[in-house]
Chain A
């Protein structure tokens, strides 16, 4: 979707309103499918089964065994609903082929709209159920609440997210809003101005870059207002905005901040709850768009007439702000590309979260158990990172190495998985 918007900009072709709505509808369906998968496959095992539970059970299969097959069936059904909406609009659910400079390749029929509406209604109910499950399993458990709000998983940073004209969270369009660690707005800018606000630091030990706020500067891997480290994705979007644009999601947004002590929330594990607030928003917004009279309009394309040159497209990917920037020749052949993907924005913060969790959890004389290492992993699983996307490589598996040093810096233990030989 970011590439689609970037090509609109390259060709100076503003899509008609129905095309923008159709894209947003498609995108809300995508958010539904991605957030459902993340919550049930990745977040829930740590909470439903417990962070220190048997790793053989601590997975989506264990979650389904515990919460019941009926709920498992609902997870698969609603993921499939969202995917089928995407496939109908986009030709394919993943890697859709519907986006063109200036709009969409085809409109939807009234019959398709009705089908989407029924599915959207069900998705709203499923999002409400998922929040209730989180409430029952996580929030009503004092130990888990303490884990979420505790220092181990807390990091004070700036936050960035896409907002609409009323500073509400928007996944498809708007301006980028930045708030500082106290929640104060420090910038709001058009996506095309991103280079004025974001720069990238490099380290010799990583082939991924470390984005930071240009006006604050790179001060190393440090927290707080003086450090240019910022975060994106679900909790960051909520922190960077002033609310949600749909009623049920807004109520849940308010409950999140009431429960966790006001804005902004710096608790990394609260990214999971924020993701569910967004799931509810995505479902409600999906339903709104399905009921929009313009959504079946055949006017879904502005034919480009200008000479293509350069453009930036920004959306909120499920994992956070996604920036595509293309420069082309006069025939539209791409000459230069710059992408900053969500996982890259969060990369400095992820490193810091892992370090903090590891240093807090691994203590002298204590056996480093698999459960303890899982609790370190939880610090970065909350970000829903995709290192393959962020590094533009396709490793297939997540290489991980944990090296434990004593106070003199001597290596006393080492745990590895999937390291290249």
Chain B
């Protein structure tokens, strides 16, 4: 049976930054047993460790884009990320580089990784709940993931205005 990871990334005590973990919580008990739901406040090489052993992964994270409307949900693929491979700090090795390294080393990584990013409004204030527009996107995003896993396709509610 295909092993699937649904990974909510973010800091759950930093208001909207916690939207990824909130979506993961929303999905608890709603997915088949071959799907592992996980929450993490990690990046780069540490995320690579979590992905090993799964056939497919869906990552949910917060995003801030220029002119973006809070609560919009974007579907991104790894190719859309600007890559700075030679980081300054060990806190800075990004996911794309980490995944390339993992592939190079023959790690058992998902053959398909989808990223759902939710446009956020507030990430500089402590708080365990999201702002209203972002909170409304949580069940929507969770529903998209359920549909996606059922049908193998998906839709999104907005277009990202990337620079």
Q: Is A45 an interface residue (CB 8 A)?
A: yes
A46 CB to closest chain B CB, in angstroms? Answer: 8
Q: Are B100 and A61 in contact (CB under 8 A)?
A: yes
A93 within 8 A of B: yes
Knowing A59-B97, A61-B104, A76-B102, the reply to whether A41 touches B90 (Cβ < 8 A) is yes
B65 CB contacts on chain A under 8 angstroms: none
Instruction: Assess whether B106 is interfacial by the CB under 8 Å rule.
Output: yes
**Quick check: is B146 within 8 A (CB to CB) of the other chain?**
no
Do the beta carbons of B97 and A60 come within 8 Å of each other? yes
Complex contact A388–B42 (CB within 8 A): no
Interface pair B84/A38, CB less than 8 Å apart:
no
From A106-114, A171-179, A188-196, A376-384, the one touching the partner chain is A376-384
Q: Is A80 an interface residue (CB 8 A)?
A: yes
Contacts of A387 in B (CB 8 A): 88-89
Inter-chain contacts of A318 with B (CB < 8 A): 90
Tell me the nearest residue of chain A to B123, going by C-beta: A394
**When the two chains form their complex, are residues B88 and A381 in contact, meaning their CB atoms are under 8 A apart?**
yes
Pair B46/A69 contact, Cβ less than 8 Å: no
Complex Cα distance, B66 from A397, in Å, reads 16
| Cβ contact within 8 Å between B101 and A64 | yes
Whether B86 is near chain A, meaning CB under 8 Å from some CB there, is: yes
Q: Mark B103-125, 1 if CB is under 8 A from A, else 0.
A: 01111000000000000000100
B104 contacts A64, C-beta separation under 8 Å: yes
The complex places the Cα of A361 from the Cα of B90 at a distance, in Å, of 26
- Taking CB atoms, residues of chain B closer than 8 Å to A374 are 86
Given A59-B85, A60-B93: A72 in contact with B100 (beta carbons within 8 A): no
Which residues from A are CB-within-8-Å of B100?
A: 61
Q: Which residue of B lies closest to A71 (CB)?
A: B105
Known contacts A59-B97, A60-B85, A61-B100; A76 and B90 CB within 8 A of each other? no
Q: Which of B42, B49, B91, B123 contacts A80 (CB 8 A)?
A: B49
Our pick among B91, B101, B123 for the contact of A60 (Cβ within 8 Å) is B101
- Quick check: A37 and B92 within 8 Å, CB to CB? no
Contact with A along B68-90 (1 / 0, CB 8 A): 00000000000000001111111
Whether, in the assembled complex, B41 has its beta carbon less than 8 Å from a beta carbon of chain A, the answer is: yes
Decide: B88 and A38 in contact? CB cutoff 8 A: no
Whether A69 contacts B45 by the Cβ 8 Å rule is no
Produce 1/0 per residue, A24-45, CB < 8 A to B. 0000000000100110011001
A394 to B122, CA, bound (A): 12
Q: Mark B11-35, 1 if CB is under 8 A from A, else 0.
A: 0000000000000000000000000
Chain A 137-195 interface residues, beta-carbon cutoff 8 Å to B: none
- How far, in angstroms, from A421 to B45 measured CA to CA in the complex? 29
Q: How far is the CB of B125 from chain A (nearest CB, A)?
A: 12
**Whole-angstrom CA separation of A380 from B90 in the bound complex:** 13
* Minimal beta-carbon separation of A388 from chain B (angstroms): 7
Asked if B93 contacts A37 (CB within 8 A), the reply is: yes
* Distance of A369 from chain B, by nearest CB (Å): 15
For A65, the chain B residues whose CB sits under 8 A away are 104
A79 contacts chain B at the CB level, 8 A cutoff: yes
Minimum C-beta distance from B141 to chain A (A): 21
* Pairs across A and B, CB under 8 Å, 13 listed: A45-B86, A55-B86, A60-B93, A61-B101, A65-B104, A92-B40, A318-B90, A377-B88, A386-B90, A389-B91, A397-B84, A398-B87, A398-B88
6 A-B pairs with least C-beta separation: A59-B85, A37-B90, A386-B91, A386-B89, A59-B86, A38-B90
Residues of A within 8 A of B89 (CB): 42, 384-387, 398
A-facing residues in B114-161 (Cβ within 8 Å): 123
Closest residue of B by beta carbon distance from A46: B86
CA distance A93 to B49 in the complex (A): 11
- Which A residues between 49 and 108 are near B, CB-CB below 8 angstroms? 55, 58-61, 64-65, 69, 72-73, 76, 79-80, 83, 92-95
Complex: chain B residue closest to A417, CB-CB: B84
- Report yes or no: B45 in contact with A398, Cβ–Cβ below 8 A: no
Alpha-carbon distance between A387 and B45 when the two chains are bound, in angstroms:
19
Q: Which of chain B's residues have a CB closer than 8 A to the CB of A380?
A: 88
- Would you call A384 and B90 a contact (CB within 8 A)? yes
B93 with A41: CB separation less than 8 A: yes
User: Which residues of A sit under 8 angstroms from B84, Cβ to Cβ?
Assistant: 397-398, 417-418
